[in-house]
Structure 1
Amino acid sequence: MEHSLIQLNDLPDEILMIILKKLYNVEVLYTLIGINKRLNAFVHDSIFTNYLTLMKFFSYSSIRPLSNPILNRFCLVILPEIHHKIKWLNVESSTMERILLATSYPNLYGLGLYNIPAERVKHILTGNTVLSVLFKNQILSLIVHISKNEKQISSDDVNKLIFTDIFTTFTNLQSLNFHPFPTCYQELSFKNSPPTLYSSTLLELYVNVTYFTDCLYLLDGRFNQLHTLYVKISWIWPSSLTIDNMENLPHLKCFSLYCDTYTNVYDELIVPLLHRMLNLEKIGLYLIVCGKNTFIDGHDLKKNILNHMPRLKKFIFNIRSTICLRNQINLPSIEDIQHTFKDCPNNQIISCVDYFLESELGQCHIYSYPYVLKVYHYITNNFPGGYFKHVREVSLFDERPFEHEFFVRIAQSFPFMKKLTVNNEKPQNDKRFKISENDNQLLSIIKYPYLIELDLVEAHDDYIEQFLLHTKTCLPNNVHLSVDYTVLKRVTQTFTRNTTRINCTKLKSLDLNGKYRIPKRIKQYFPHTKIK
């Protein structure tokens, strides 16, 4: 270790800084502070001291405290030494108070509270605690992550109380993120009564709400200086409630609306809300719209949005609209839809149109590219391709079969995909390896290096073969597979088929749909798999 530090100390300043910036700040401080004068000066740089995450973050459902030796060194040595440089702290429930009481933080303005039980959040906000006493007027930016109670999910009323208490405790709050992760249990619902809170300092708000009316309550004037709102709404439905203040929102500059359930009140609710935002400079719309006679296309967006926002600089959207095919004539093609965007500036717009004759539905998917969401649902054979580095969850659906080449495109387009769902009841037309028209070589074995969850419950036998045959697909280790038991038994030839055995041995867990009794041979066929 000493020899390594000597070599590190011999590096030029520029190279040393490049190396250290690739490490976590906590690692840099814990390892190098106090080693020698030069390294000490480096790690005291604001790059390493301004923003500290004093917890182990694996995922939003797996947040752990630092180990005791690391925590002790930080609380006893490191934090007191750099306390005046710290501007933001991320802490978790069990070690939060010890860290906040370890020293004074005169320049701390941002705080992230993670994995905090709801009852504990209520206590630290309303009781005589370190947060309510020491940081009442100091904290300008706050992130609150409420942990999930396995026995009882936090109720709407509890979330509403916590949300209200935040503004009572932090009187100068300018930015609040009340939904740092995609967790439905941290969702606000004001039901039939508006919240009893007001703030003239809040500028930015990130929040999940249950209903569209909850969003309207947030925009009824109680946050009269709000310029940025990111809201995820579970249900956009019509309501009989009357919202008193429906005036324009001149201060709002940035607005993002995300709803992943169907709404049939796009024209009645969403468009009028957007018309109140006269001075928007950036907008994000992520919607699934039904109940209209026509698709939402470039003409619709221009008429209802762009023409009403003269200051708009950036428009990011992902909108899927469906129509009923009964009594429809002159159905638009993908070229027709794409042509409606010919006057749209700045963004590259992608369109995809499908007509499902069996279900008598038409679907039009339009989105700005590059694609920014982590999910991409209802991909069909008309998928135009592309590179989607942010997407982690994908679902496929069509009334026409998916061939091997289609799955090649999916793997190439979504290289970091973790979850894949296939919904297709049509058998493949050609299950054999055939010669590629492009390179006259056998089609390649498809790899999904990051896949951890595969749902084939609503898939034809051919797609179970597509993923289990090692001559077609190379599954990574530790995949969770959901599949119908009868289909799996049929495809694996009663759990004896050799060509599906290799991929089956890689499964971490197996969720079998349908009534069944697990025979002894299934354990031998899935030797490393937990069968549910």
Structure 2
Amino acid sequence: MSQSNLHLLDLPNELLFIILNKFGNVNALYSLLGRINERFDSLLQDNVFTKTLHLIKISSTYDYISSFDDSILNRFCSGILPKIHHNDDNLPHLKCFSLICYEKTDAYDNRVLPLLRHMKYLEKLTLYLRLHDRNIFVDGTHLHREILMHMSQLHTFIFYISTEIEINDSIDRLSDNDIQQTFTNIGYHRIACAVNYYRKSKAICHVFSLPFVFDRLIKICNHFPAVIYKHVTELTILDDILFNYEFIVRIRKAFPSLDDLTIIILQPPSVEFGQDELRRYQLSAIMEYLHLTGLATSFESDDYL
């Protein structure tokens, strides 16, 4: 066989495994499964290659909305997962799964939960999700009822989930302690939470496991939980306060690895020029004090939100 005629499929399985591992199992499964030949499919369906899956979706726009109805997730749900687990609905060989999406999604209940229900034999689960278009917050009671009680072999659950909802006068305003209690009730103590009510009709609830292992924290308010977020490099703060020195010190201590900071200040429509200038001066001081490489600011009025 001449070197010029050497084809990828002429390589031994051992070399193909090395190539596929370099490519990444999720990329390889999505791009190649069912598209070359049976030998290649057999390699891709090997237990070593399919027992761990990491799905990550990243957007540079902090508030971009994703429906999760994209080709990647659809293909994994309907084609790839059933095939690599030989049409067994319980996916017995899948032991580690992570789903990380920095975009907001409105399809948690109809796409993500049904997918997780097939993973009864998981031992490690990692979720980073920003949810909207729900009626209630995701709390400990929900996670136990909808996810944890269906995974008897799960020993590690790492998560960050934020839920944005619309509120009115008929909805009880839950506190941080109310949300924390739902985790205490199910025996989860290494968690933190923060609930923020803003604008006239919106609320956001953050719940996450400790220590915080992700590199982004988006739309947190000024009373964020008092822990160290040593992996966070990108932070978005949503609030209506004037930033004072004490608050800057808190950020510096809590986020030692911070590179990029976005501050969204919700201000009334009648802010005087002098007040606006004062805030901009304070923000420039923040950037210098925190040694940031990036700082973005937005001054927004409730009248336009």
SS at match of 2:75: helix
Question: For the Cα contact (< 8 Å) 1:401–1:426, is it kept in 2?
Answer: no
Question: For the Cα contact (< 8 Å) 1:136–1:169, is it kept in 2?
Answer: no
Superposed counterparts of 1:200-219, under 5 Å: 200-201=46-47, 202-203=49-50, 204-208=52-56, 210-211=70-71, 212-219=73-80
1:34-86 alpha-carbon deviations (Å, 9 max, x no partner):
xxxxxxxxxxxxxxxxxxxxxxxxxxxxxxxxxxxxxxxxxxxxxxxxxxxxx
Question: For the Cα contact (< 8 Å) 2:238–2:264, is it kept in 1?
Answer: yes
Distance 1:334 1:382 in 2: 10
1:483 to partner: Cα distance:
6.8
1:464 to partner: Cα distance:
2.8
1:249 to partner: Cα distance:
1.8
2:23 to 125, 129, 144: 144
The verdict on how the C-alpha distance between 1:265 and 1:171 changes in structure 2, with shifts beyond 3 A counting, is closer
1:170 to partner: Cα distance:
8.3
Structure with higher RCO (Cα < 8 A, 6+ apart): 2
Distance 1:309 1:269 in 2: 18
1:257 to 70, 93, 99: 99
- Number of aligned residue pairs: give it: 272
1:389-441 alpha-carbon deviations (Å, 9 max, x no partner):
211111111133333211211111111111111111449xxxxxxxxxxxxxx
Matched, 1:308 2:185: no
1:229-263 alpha-carbon deviations (Å, 9 max, x no partner):
xxxxxxxxxxxxxxxx6833222221111222222
1:360 to partner: Cα distance:
1.1
Structure-2 residue corresponding to 1:51: none
| Runs of 5+ consecutive residues of structure 1 not aligned to the other structure | 1-100, 102-123, 146-157, 175-197, 226-244, 428-458, 488-532
Matched, 1:382 2:198: no
Question: For the Cα contact (< 8 Å) 1:466–1:473, is it kept in 2?
Answer: no
1:461 to partner: Cα distance:
3.6
The verdict on how the C-alpha distance between 1:403 and 1:301 changes in structure 2, with shifts beyond 3 A counting, is same
Structure-1 residue corresponding to 2:210: 369
Distance 2:250 2:237 in 1: 12
SS at match of 1:341: helix
Question: For the Cα contact (< 8 Å) 1:139–1:173, is it kept in 2?
Answer: no
Flag the structure with higher helix content: 2
Question: For the Cα contact (< 8 Å) 2:243–2:282, is it kept in 1?
Answer: no
The one-letter amino acid of 1:335's match is N
Matched, 1:268 2:268: no
1:323 to partner: Cα distance:
1.4
Distance 2:207 2:45 in 1: 37
1:464 to 244, 259, 280: 280
The verdict on how the C-alpha distance between 1:304 and 1:205 changes in structure 2, with shifts beyond 3 A counting, is closer
The one-letter amino acid of 1:138's match is L
1:167 to partner: Cα distance:
6.9
Superposed counterparts of 1:172-321, under 5 Å: 199-201=45-47, 202-203=49-50, 204-208=52-56, 210-211=70-71, 212-224=73-85, 247-321=89-163
1:191-237 alpha-carbon deviations (Å, 9 max, x no partner):
xxxxxxx6345324445574531331354422127xxxxxxxxxxxx
Structure index of larger Rg: 1
1:475 to partner: Cα distance:
6.2
TM-score, normalised to structure 2, is 0.74
1:131-173 alpha-carbon deviations (Å, 9 max, x no partner):
554454434341228xxxxxxxxxxxx9999545997598498
Percent of aligned positions that are identical: 30
SS at match of 2:74: helix
The one-letter amino acid of 2:77's match is L
Distance 1:262 1:350 in 2: 20
TM-score, normalised to structure 1, is 0.45
Distance 1:374 1:139 in 2: 33
1:418 to 231, 244, 259: 259
2:191 to 343, 349, 352: 349
| Runs of 5+ consecutive residues of structure 2 not aligned to the other structure | 58-69, 269-274, 300-305
Matched, 1:128 2:6: yes
Question: For the Cα contact (< 8 Å) 2:262–2:295, is it kept in 1?
Answer: no
The verdict on how the C-alpha distance between 1:380 and 1:475 changes in structure 2, with shifts beyond 3 A counting, is closer
Distance 1:161 1:343 in 2: 40
The verdict on how the C-alpha distance between 1:139 and 1:304 changes in structure 2, with shifts beyond 3 A counting, is same
The one-letter amino acid of 2:281's match is E
The one-letter amino acid of 1:222's match is K
Distance 2:110 2:188 in 1: 28
Distance 2:38 2:233 in 1: 37
The verdict on how the C-alpha distance between 1:224 and 1:365 changes in structure 2, with shifts beyond 3 A counting, is same
Question: For the Cα contact (< 8 Å) 1:254–1:281, is it kept in 2?
Answer: yes
Distance 1:423 1:350 in 2: 23
